[in-house]
Each structure stands twice: as C-alpha cells, then as structure tokens.
Amino acid sequence: MQLFYHPDLSSPTIQLPEEESKHLVKVLRKQKGDKITLIDGKGNEAVGIIENDHSKKCLIQISSRIHHPLNRSYHLHIAIAPTKQTERMDWYIEKAIEIGIDEVTFIETQNSERNKINTERLEKIAIATIKQSKQYWLPKINGIKKLPVFIDEQKDVVALKLIAWCEEEQTQTLLNQLRNSDAQNVIILIGPEGDFTKHEVTMAKTFHFAAITLGTNILRTETAGIFVSAALASHY
C-alpha cells in the first residue's frame, strides 16, 4: 500500500504538495477517480479520491478517516551531536525512525564536529521513512541546541535521563538502567566522535542524568543512536 503525506487531513478536500502530486500522477500514473491512502504524521489515516490529477497540485476528496493510537509503550527522545558528514545523519534519522523513536534533538558540545543542521532536509527524510515503513506518527526533529541549554530544558521533565559516555571506568549499562526503572519516558544524550568531556558529564549528572556505557566497543555517533533505539524496542 502506497502512502501519501499531508500535514492536515481535517478538510474535506486537500491539495497535495507538488512533490507528492508529481509522484502520484507522473510516476504512479494515478488518474481522476482513483483512490489513495494518506497519513498526516499525527496518527490519522485517510482514504481519498483524486478529483484533479494535476501533476503540481493534485486535489483529493477525503472519503473516510481513521485514527491510529501510538503503538509503542514508551517515549524515546535522543539528543545527539551531529556528525561531520551529513549523509551519516541522514542515515541515522532514517534507521532510527524505522526502529522506533519519538523525538530527536541535535546538540552542540565542546567536541562537536558540526554546529549547523538542515532540519528541513531531515524532516523530508523522516516523512519518506514513515511512508515507507507504514507508520502513522511522525517523530519530532529539533534543530541544534547547546548542550547546557538542552539539559536545563529537561530539568522538570519526568523521565529516565541518561548520558552515554566512553569513560573506561564506567560500568553502568543501558540495559541495567532500563531494568531498574519503570519509566516510560526516556531521554538519552549521545555525544560526538570525541565524546563528552568530563565537565559536560558532571554537568549532566547535576541535572539527574545517569552516565552509562553502551558496551566495550567504541561506536560511531550514529551507530550509538541506532543501538539505543534497538535496545529500547527490544526491552519494552
């Protein structure tokens, strides 16, 4: 089943964005009167009938709607330092969404390789991913925030708060923390290739983030992010 995206399915008639219209008419060869299925990234699915098969502004008449509750029992928010190569962050967003994630915030740390991110590009990747993997909820993607700002914003959030750290003496694992907590809301900090500094970890601990290890192997930033998503999907 091919899914199409529109951010608002509440109106009786909607106009698809140019990119979606072109794919519908030029690639899939859909015509006036054909039925299509749409999602809005907010849990809603709709069946629509093509009223106008214009390749730049296709009009859809909505015939039925259904709401899908979020089927995960947990909420995962990963704050991650963007990699130097944008392709690696593109890959991370795609795979993290396929596995399961609710929110991503990019953070600037002392050892960060990049302090700018193209959120519009990543949102397009996110939309394409939920369409491909047949999901109804679009994860939230936030722009870059400095690490102290992000940590301070979480001070009143009730959650299991963790910071992944490659310190050799660190023995507390992600799975241990998950097993010892009944929290359904999880926030995890993942640093750049150069890792978090001791000062940054100390600051995070002050705001009730527990330091954890993701194993004995040193992981790339994006691999660490995927590991976390997979671990939570398996645990819950």
pLDDT per position as a tens digit, 88-112: 999 999 999 999 999 999 999 999 9
Q: 3-67: which CATH number, 2.40.240.20, 3.90.1300.10, 2.40.110.10, 2.60.120.890?
A: 2.40.240.20
Domain boundaries, the chain: 3-67, 75-235
Is residue 168 scored above 80 in pLDDT? no
How does residue 167 score in pLDDT terms, banded at 50, 70 and 90? Answer: confident
- pTM for this model (two decimals): 0.93
Rounded CA-CA distance 44/40 in Å is 6
Do the strands 35-39 and 75-80 form a parallel or antiparallel pair, or are they unpaired?
unpaired
Tell me which DSSP letter residue 32 carries.
T
142 vs 103: CA distance, rounded Å: 8
Q: Which CATH architecture has domain 75-235?
A: 3-Layer(aba) Sandwich (3.40)
Contact 190, 228 (CB under 8 A): yes
